[in-house]
Amino acid sequence: MNQAGTDVRPGTLSAETIEVRARERNEPAWLAQQRRAAWEHAAALPIPTKTTETWRRTDLGGLDLDALLARPGGAPDGTVGRADDLGAAAGSLQLVDGLEQGRAVDPELAKRGVLVLPLREALALRPDLVEGRLGSLSAGQDSKFVSLAEALWENGTFVYVPRNVVVEAPLVSRSIMASGAPSFWRTLIVVDEGADVTIVEDYESDDAVGEALASGTVEIFAGASARVRYANLQQWNPETWHFNRLRTSMGRDSKIDWLFVAVGAKISRVEIDATLAGQGAETELTGLIFGTGSQHFDHQTLQDHFGSDTRSNLNFKAALDDSASSNYQGMIRVNLASLRTNSNLENRNLLLSDHAHADSDPKLEILNSDIVRCAHGATVGPVDRETIFYLQTRGIPRPEATRIVVEAFFDEVLKKIPVEAIRLSVWRTIQRKLGREVGASDVPEAEDQWQVG
């Protein structure tokens, strides 16, 4: 995220000034060059419009990029965030406007080499793990917002789990926007062969922050037989423009379980590329989107099979109220050399208002005939009237009946959030959107799939 006080006004920036600033901060030459190239891409690319094919259902007409880039930062007052409510987390990192506000790692795990660090610190401490990986997957040349993040990021999260190390409790990174300055971040996760870990990233901001820009990248490297459970929770305020690109590198017999929760932001655009290169690699992608007001969510997913005997399964659910909207475009691609592929994609959309809208466009691209299964499906529709009527005949008022249906719709996704405090935060946000406050006793228990073992 952008460090408080950093000047990113468009008029003060150029490829040369970005490279000079990187060298003044003693960043390695490869990173300075990477920043410069990214800025050149960002400057050359226009803001996407509805005539751009992959953006045709997302309207950025109200985005004043120069004004958002010029928003000044302010020093955090130290009262933002909740660094002490993460329960049994094995490690945690909290960044407020890109500045570290607390970190902790279990001493035994630290002795075994587990790292949870601000990315800037990892550059100096473990350059061998960062160079060659950072930016190798995110490929921002085709995206103005990804390129801006690659050029202007000030900090982010770095996680490293050495070979065969099992981290039994989650590692949690919380990024908080406090000042409204543009937030650019990078996440780099390296999980060595045979390691096992659960990682949670939580993005938050208060309504008082107002309109803001947030853009970042997430790159996950999973070695052979590694097991990674990664949760990405987007809880920005409803005036934030949010852009994120997430990509993976998966070794032989590795598995990555993804969880995406999107309840915040004004416009949220997320691009997810799960590349299954290693033989026997597996991935599960689960998403929860809940929009109210005029929020718009745009998710683009790719299950890209290269290795043989690979498996992927995607299940994204969206509930939309008021004038909220969702655009989902998903692709399963089975490449020529990917034999005995097993893949599925499902997108379910629940409309709670006559003014809510959802588009779903799942696709298959199968380039060979040796597949086990390759299927996709999508639904868009209102709350089932018979279900609501049945609940009403049992004396339940219609608003409460609707809440019950939405809770049931999202229950299986909420159970995948492995940190109780964050599960409670997401649950409370959903309940507030439904017009109801909730206590800790109402929160669904975590699902076994998201426990280590």
3 state DSSP class of 117: strand
State the DSSP code for 446.
P
Among 185, 195, 190, 111, residue whose Cα is nearest residue 153:
185
Those residues whose C-beta lies under 8 Å from the C-beta of residue 358, and which sit 6 or more positions away, are: 318, 320, 325, 326, 327, 328, 349, 351, 380
Of residues 386 and 240, which shows the higher confidence score?
A: 240
Is a pLDDT exceeding 90 seen at residue 72?
A: no
Looking at residue 140, its pLDDT comes to 76
**CA atoms of 200 and 185, how far apart (whole Å):** 15
Residue 435 φ/ψ, nearest 5 degrees? 80, 30
Among 260, 257, 263, residue whose Cα is nearest residue 271:
260
**CA atoms of 166 and 32, how far apart (whole Å):** 35
- For 423-434, the pLDDT digits (tens) are 887 888 888 888
Q: How confident is the model at residue 451 (pLDDT cuts 50, 70, 90)?
A: low
Among 192, 289, 209, 203, residue whose Cα is nearest residue 242:
203
Round the CA-based radius of gyration of the chain to a whole number and report it. 21
- For 26-41, the pLDDT digits (tens) are 899 999 999 999 999 9
Q: Which of 47-51, 299-303, 444-448 has the highest mean predicted lDDT (pLDDT)? A: 299-303
Supply 182's token pair.
């543009």
Specify which residues 318 forms β-bridges with.
289, 349
Q: How far is CA 392 from the centre of its chain?
A: 37
Looking at residue 430, its pLDDT comes to 85
Averaged over 130-138, what is the pLDDT? 95
Averaged over 358-376, what is the pLDDT? 95
For the chain, the domains span 10-276, 394-453
- For 392-408, the pLDDT digits (tens) are 999 998 888 888 888 88
Q: Give the start-end residues of each E strand in 209-310.
A: 212-222, 227-235, 240-250, 255-262, 267-276, 282-291, 296-305
Looking at residue 213, its pLDDT comes to 97
Q: Within 76-139, where are the H helices?
A: 107-111, 119-125, 127-130
Q: Which helix (H) or strand (E) holds 21?
A: helix 15-24
Q: How far is CA 326 from the centre of its chain?
A: 16
Q: With 0-12 CB in 10 A as exposed, 13-18 as middle and 19+ as buried, what is 366?
A: middle
Count of CB atoms within 10 A of residue 139's CB? 15
**CA atoms of 443 and 425, how far apart (whole Å):** 10
Among 296, 384, 379, residue whose Cα is nearest residue 345:
379
Averaged over 36-54, what is the pLDDT? 92
